[in-house]
Amino acid sequence: MPALLDKKDYRILAALDFDARMPLSELAKKTGLSKQAADYRIKSMLKHDVIEGFYPLINSPLLGYIYCRTFLQLKSLTPQQEQELRKYILTNKRLFWAFSLGGTYDYLFVYWVRSLSEFEDVNFELAEKFGHIIMNSTQNVITNVIHMSHKCLADKTEPVRFDLCEQRKTIDLDETDRKILSSLALDARQSLVEISKKCNVAPKVVAYRIKKLEAGKVIAGYRPIINYEKIGLTYFKVFLNISQCSHKEFSKLQSHLLSHPKVIYLVHGISMPADFDIELLAESSTDFFDFMKELKNIFPSLITDYQYLIYTKTLKVNYAPFY
């Protein structure tokens, strides 16, 4: 059942998008609330699972990691098998993003790996553990995930874009930076003092290191994990096939999608189910199909067909790639 949020709550969600470590004093100014009111509303949204946590958007390709994903279609699971699968999701350190799905596939697992042979090992291990319940699986290597701000949350939401894409040059981090990122990955809004205790370094060192990681684009932002169902939205993934076209025509399509208030991700990669993916939020199935109809009307000779999935639940978000 959707939570009862008002415009002030939506302004808070929009303000925290890409800047979830924003101090309460700054958040209050941005939203026209007092610090106490802003804090109360965040805590209320956490209590009612509108917000399920906060995470740093770590630019792991800059650290030498490859973004890979596996879609799984499973047999009906017993409670014990479901428990074993959830344990795998929570304990596998390579797996940083996991969802349950509605549609052709039941789960999406996203991994950070150092090489394609390592991704092959990951899927071999997955098949070894759960091959008896896997009916079908599809593996993809992702070259770019374009992250966009949630423009649908509030009027005049400032558009933000970050391309999480493969990098020609990579950098190394020391143990302290790794510890700080790993701590932030569990809760991006925790205080400097809390992080310093966990990492055994002074708060001033933590502040300096975080600023340096932000300046070097290792940290691209901080985002809330939003339970879209709680705010009356359904999260769709669309596998979009397009006809052969010029780069100019494709750029027009991508620009249209990037500017659309419903669209929150564009995904490019290799061996994908379609030419590329789009991810969007819709108020209903009718709203979704209206979006797709409008898209096909605007680009009638470009879009050949599409398939879609529904994200039903976020099971894990931990962008720290260290294992």
1 has pLDDT over 60: no
pLDDT value of residue 139: 97
Locate all alpha helices (DSSP H) within 187-284, ordered by sequence: 192-199, 203-215, 247-259
Q: Give percent of the chain above pLDDT 70.
A: 99
Confidence at 246, pLDDT banded by 50, 70, 90: confident
At residue 58's C-alpha, the angle toward residues 234 and 68, to 5°, is 70
Rg (the chain; Cα; Å): 20
Residue 242 CA from chain centroid, whole number: 24
Instruction: Count how many residues are written for the chain.
Output: 323
Tell me whether residue 95 is exposed, middle or buried, using C-beta atoms within 10 angstroms of its C-beta: 0 to 12, 13 to 18, 19 or more.
buried
The mean of the pLDDT values for the chain is 95
Does residue 217 come out as left (phi exceeding 0), alpha (psi in the -120 to 50 range) or beta?
left
- Contacts of residue 134, defined as CB under 8 A and 6 or more positions apart, other chains included, come to 72, 73, 74, 75, 126, 127
Residue of 93, 61, 254 lying closest to 185 (CA atoms): 93
The string over 22-56, giving b where at least 16 C-beta atoms fall within 10 Å of a residue's C-beta and e elsewhere, is beeeebbebbebeeeebeebbeebeeeebbbbbbb
pTM higher than the cut 0.85: yes
- Contacts of residue 62, defined as CB under 8 A and 6 or more positions apart, other chains included, come to 167, 170, 171, 216, 217, 218
- The CATH code of domain 228-309 reads 3.30.70.920
As a whole number of angstroms, the distance between CA 109 and CA 71 comes to 6
Report, as an integer, the average pLDDT of 308-317.
Answer: 98
Query: Strands 161-165, 66-74: parallel, antiparallel or unpaired by DSSP?
Result: unpaired
Please report, for the chain, the start and end positions of each structural domain, with discontinuous segments joined by +. 228-309
Contact (Cβ atoms closer than 8 angstroms) between residue 69 and residue 142: yes
Q: What is the pLDDT of residues 2-61, one digit of tens each?
A: 667 999 999 999 999 999 999 999 999 999 999 999 999 999 999 999 999 999 999 999
Confidence at 244, pLDDT banded by 50, 70, 90: confident
As a whole number of angstroms, the distance between CA 302 and CA 256 comes to 13
More confident residue, 272 or 2: 272
3-state helix, strand, coil in the chain (%, to 5): 40, 30, 30
Residue of 93, 265, 18 lying closest to 109 (CA atoms): 93
DSSP output for 43-100: HHHHHTTSEEEEEEEE-GGGGT-EEEEEEEEEPPPPHHHHHHHHHHHHH-SSEEEEEE
As a whole number of angstroms, the distance between CA 173 and CA 166 comes to 18
